[in-house]
Every structure is written in C-alpha cells, then in structure tokens.
Amino acid sequence: MQMLNRYFASFALILTLCAIYFNTPDLRDFGFIWRTYRWPIIILAVSAAVNWWLSANTYRFFHWTRQLKIVQVWLNYFWAVPLVYLLYPFWAPMWLLFAMAPATAALYWGRWQTLLTALCCSATLLLIYYEHGAFEAGVFEVGAGIAYTHAIFIVVITMFIHGLAQTALRLRDARLG
C-alpha cells in the first residue's frame, strides 16, 4: 500500500501540478489560478490527504485491511473522474490517472475483478473523451482512434501488472514450499 502511494500518488500530484503550471500565463496571479483550477486543487489536496491516511493506517486496522484496499481502489477512480474531466482540455496526459485504480486492483484482487475495474475506467475515459468532442469527426477518425488506444492501454497495462504480481506470488510460494 505504501509503495502504491509513493509512486502513484506522487505521479498524480506531478501530473496535476504540471497541468496547472504549464497552462497558467502568470504564476503570480493566484486569483486566476484559484478561479480556474479551484476544484482540481481541492480534489488533489483531499485525495493526497486521504491516500496518505489510508496508507499510514491500513495495517493498524488489520481486520479491515481488505476493505480499506477496496476503498482505496475506488477512491482513486472517483478522484480521477473529475480531475480528468476538468483538466483534460488543458493537459492531455491526464487520462493516465485512469490507470491508477485498476493498477492498484491488479496488485490486490483477482483477474476478473481487475479486468472489470480496468473496463470501468476505460469506459469512463471514453465517455469523457466523447463529452469533450473526441468523436465529433466520427468513430473511425484520428481523435476516436487515440481515445480507443488510451482505453485499451489501461486494460492491457492493468492485466500486465496483475500477471507480474501473480508471478511474484508464485515465485514467493515456490521458495517457501
């Protein structure tokens, strides 16, 4: 859990701050930054605090560890939705936030739960792309192709991480046996 927060939460923070930094004409104009990026900043701050708390306290509540991991996966998803929706027009790599929830699921859950999580994130990403007009030229045009590729990448990378995690568990069990 701490490893996930160390890398994924840091990545989400960097990605969101880059979206704000590189799209702000004058960084000294805090009024503009607050008016334009208020909700992404609030969501990012709350998600960082909650992820830190979950990471620090997951094993403190040993009997609730499984439920806390489930909560963390879906919280990552629910935070990614507004962040991607709000910041995608300014910073295209925001779609990568949708890889975080299924990657977390890949480490803790079974194959089908991981696949369903990845499909849910991919479908949500496609809906956000649709809302932002990626399919206006048609479903077989360049914008749609990019959207499909991003959605497929989320599923593929998630299943790859799940396969790596299962291989590591099999190697560990072989050494113990």
In this predicted structure, the answer to whether residue 1 has a pLDDT above a threshold of 60 is no
The domain in which residue 97 lies consists of 2-176
The total number of structural domains that make up the chain: 1
Angstrom CA distances, 167 to 105, 129, 132, 160, 163, stand at 16, 34, 39, 11, 6
pTM: 0.86
Mean pLDDT of 154-166: 94
Q: What is the mean pLDDT of the chain?
A: 86
Q: What is the mean pLDDT of residues 91-110?
A: 91
pLDDT on residue 63: 75
Quote the pLDDT of residue 96.
94
Determine the average pLDDT of the residues in 32-49.
86
Round to whole Å and give the CA distance between 59 and 54: 9
Give the pLDDT score at 12: 85
Q: Is the pLDDT of residue 122 over 80?
A: yes
Mean pLDDT computed over 45-72:
79
